[in-house]
């Protein structure tokens, strides 16, 4: 799986963020600069990802190698992507490179913000974070992770959040096919309310909705 590097601006749009609460978890953050950029805004931001178990040189290499691979997935499914949010492929590439640089710089100076952990078991106490964000893992990788894994991962994201979880996108990677088991999963979640909400971001055609779970 790719360790991709989305920026704060992409998160802001994907999750329709305005003001951030005092604590936020980015799960699973990969090479994203969200945590670095949220910290500068005064937020207690933490990133978790299984890739943070890698030795530093290997993580740097994985993040850098994921940049062109991510672009080639877009090229392979060109008809499944729209460019009105990014403007152009070059602008998207620039944003990703800037985000990767920012992430690599931040993890080298503040490694305590970057925690190794693997869903569906995260190394955090119940309700540790006001808001939990999940970009491009659940549903995106429904070919790799099955329905049972998704159910356990959703429960875990809810467990570590104090009030809200937001997940984007709700379609599979590449051509953006729907995830058949999503409606049943939502029905099975207990003790929470769920909403599928439109966001001001679209890259995979039609993938302009996030899942909001509140409790
Ligand atoms: C496509 S990347 C998304 C990264 C970032 N959120 C973004 O939007 O650019 C998916 C990330 O999930 C991580 N990952 C995959 N399976 C995981 C698991 N079971 N637990 C924790 N992290 C996982 C990968 O290491 C990778 O960094």
Average pLDDT across the chain, whole number = 97
- pLDDT range class, residue 71, cuts 50, 70, 90: confident
pLDDT attached to residue 1: 82
Domain coverage including residue 39:
8-214
Catalogue the E-assigned strands of the chain.
Answer: 23-27, 44-49, 114-116, 129-135, 161-168, 193-198, 209-214
Torsion angle of C-alpha atoms 157, 11, 100, 143, degrees rounded to 10 = 50
Domain count, the chain: 1
User: What does the pLDDT look like over 33-46, one tens digit per residue?
Assistant: 999 999 999 999 99
Instruction: Pick the residue whose CA is nearest to atom 19 on ligand 1.
Output: 119
Q: What is the CATH number of the domain that holds 184?
A: 3.40.50.150
User: What does the pLDDT look like over 4-39, one tens digit per residue?
Assistant: 999 999 999 999 999 999 999 999 999 999 999 999
User: What does the pLDDT look like over 116-149, one tens digit per residue?
Assistant: 999 999 999 999 999 999 999 999 999 999 999 9
Nearest-atom number in ligand 1 for the CA of 99 is: 9
User: What does the pLDDT look like over 143-159, one tens digit per residue?
Assistant: 999 999 999 999 999 99
- pLDDT range class, residue 84, cuts 50, 70, 90: very high
Report d(CA 45, CA 107) in Å as an integer.
Answer: 13
Indicate yes or no: pTM above 0.75: yes
Q: Identify whether 1 is part of a domain.
A: no
User: What does the pLDDT look like over 165-200, one tens digit per residue?
Assistant: 999 999 999 889 999 999 999 999 999 999 999 999
pLDDT attached to residue 70: 85
- Ligand 1 pocket at CB < 6 A: 1-6, 28-30, 32, 49-51, 118-119, 135-137
Structure tokens at 93: 């590439």
């Amino acid at each position: 799986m790719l360790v991709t590097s989305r920026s704060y601006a992409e998160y802001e749009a994907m999750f329709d963020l305005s003001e951030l609460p005092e604590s936020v978890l980015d799960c699973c953050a990969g090479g994203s600069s969200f945590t670095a950029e949220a910290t500068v805004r005064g937020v207690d931001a933490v990133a978790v990802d299984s890739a943070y178990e890698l030795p530093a040189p290997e993580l740097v290499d994985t993040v850098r190698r994921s940049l062109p691979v991510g672009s080639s997935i877009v090229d392979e499914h060109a008809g499944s992507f729209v460019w009105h949010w990014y403007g152009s492929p070059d602008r998207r590439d620039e944003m990703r490179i800037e985000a990767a640089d920012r992430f690599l710089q931040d993890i080298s100076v503040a490694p305590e913000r970057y925690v190794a952990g693997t869903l569906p078991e995260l190394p955090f106490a119940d309700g540790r974070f006001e808001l939990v964000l999940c970009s491009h893992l659940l549903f995106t990788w429904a070919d790799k992770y099955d329905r049972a894994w998704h159910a356990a991962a959703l429960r875990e994201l809810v467990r570590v959040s104090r009030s809200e979880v937001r997940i984007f996108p709700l379609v599979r990677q590449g051509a953006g096919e729907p995830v058949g088991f999503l409606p049943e999963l939502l029905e099975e979640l207990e003790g929470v309310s769920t909403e599928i909400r439109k966001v001001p971001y679209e890259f995979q055609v039609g993938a302009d909705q996030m899942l909001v779970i509140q409790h």
